[in-house]
Homo-oligomer: A and B are copies of this chain.
């Protein structure tokens, strides 16, 4: 028997580790591979043979891994470029050295392009004993074909809960108050939209809709005039019709020259204060906590992420199963349910699924019932969390630190 390798890429989510746990568990239930390797730091570490052996993970470790947020195998932003043939050669060399038949790669659309590129390379070069399988994960929920992405629902639940709870906090005084909650979402507004499930959002500002400052200020003023309060949710990636980000004037570049996002909330606050619409405006940027928070996750999300890893493993018993991503399809019916299916990774690679603008109500008024019906079932249920003696949730020590 040959071996398999599972690795993680891109930004962390709170359930990405559950997919790894699923691959490991499936192989324990039906050992179609001798060894299940974990590759550290994605492709970057695989090229350097940074492996750990996950084959005999205990049930306790598996459970704790499922409730550990972030990427326990480490991650990378390294992108395999098709013109960089040496990387491809090196990768197949490493796979041969460790007799790795299947690489399971969890990630977003960049990672699905990696799966696509590697399977394409194998095919073109007549390599038939190496397979590449993608497992979607992204809090942004912006992958095509799959109904939704593991990781999204738990982040959405944290955001909607925080919206409900900070809204309570923001209304206790009789004074005028504007509260602005900033979420992740560079191109897709799924996370910001999710806050509306709380029922407490007065104004929603999505990246899919060109920002109209006058209309925005008029809407905020209307709420302040009516009830002296306004609760706003904004996605970090909001921009004007000309494509400039809301916070572009203030945004700092890091030393590599990448634009650093964030600051959309502060930009809105400045606008509101300058226009004299409110005397006070408070900003809460959920930053990394929204993708890392793993207490009160969505049970649907954690379970689907785990099952997706199992499904990917089980499907890979088919020797022709390569260049595929395993996705979830919502089943028609009264009760929420999904089926798992496979699609060509090329259908997903480098595409973005935006929040449908027809699901956004006019005048920043939130989202339609259809949108709520899409999001709310994903948030249902809470896993039983295992705690330690300090009263904190148990986490595995990241494999890249062992």
Contact = CB atoms under 8 A, between A and B. Distances in A.
A382 B379 contact: no
A271 interface: no
A169 B395 CA distance: 12
Contacts of A385: 296, 382
A162 B289 CA distance: 7
Interface string A254-273: 11100000000000000001
B165 A292 contact: yes
Contacts of A389: 376, 380
A61 to B, nearest CB: 16
Nearest to A391: B379
A250 B9 CA distance: 37
A376 B387 CA distance: 12
Contact of A168 (B69, B170, B280, B382): B69
Nearest to A289: B162
B392 A198 contact: yes
A221 interface: no
Contacts of A76: 173-174
Contacts of A398: 168, 171-172
Contact of A379 (B198, B392, B401): B392
A298 B391 contact: yes
A77 interface: yes
This protein's copies in its complex: 2
A255 B279 contact: yes
Contacts of A169: 12, 69-70, 288, 291-292
Interface in A190-214: 197-198
A390 interface: yes
Interface in A374-402: 376-382, 385, 387, 389-393, 395, 398, 400-401
Interface in A241-297: 254-256, 273, 279-280, 282-289, 291-296
Contact of A295 (B74, B295, B391): B295
B401 A376 contact: no
Interface string A1-38: 00000000000101000000000000000000000000
Closest CB pairs A-B (n = 6): A379-B391, A295-B296, A70-B168, A380-B391, A165-B292, A75-B172
14 contacts: A44-B174, A69-B168, A70-B171, A157-B391, A161-B293, A161-B295, A164-B395, A295-B296, A296-B296, A296-B393, A300-B391, A376-B391, A379-B391, A380-B389
Interface of A: 12, 14, 41, 44-45, 68-72, 74-77, 157, 160-162, 164-166, 168-174, 179, 197-198, 254-256, 273, 279-280, 282-289, 291-296, 298, 300, 372, 376-382, 385, 387, 389-393, 395, 398, 400-401
Given A295-B295, A298-B391, 5 more contacts: A14-B165, A44-B174, A76-B173, A160-B390, A376-B389
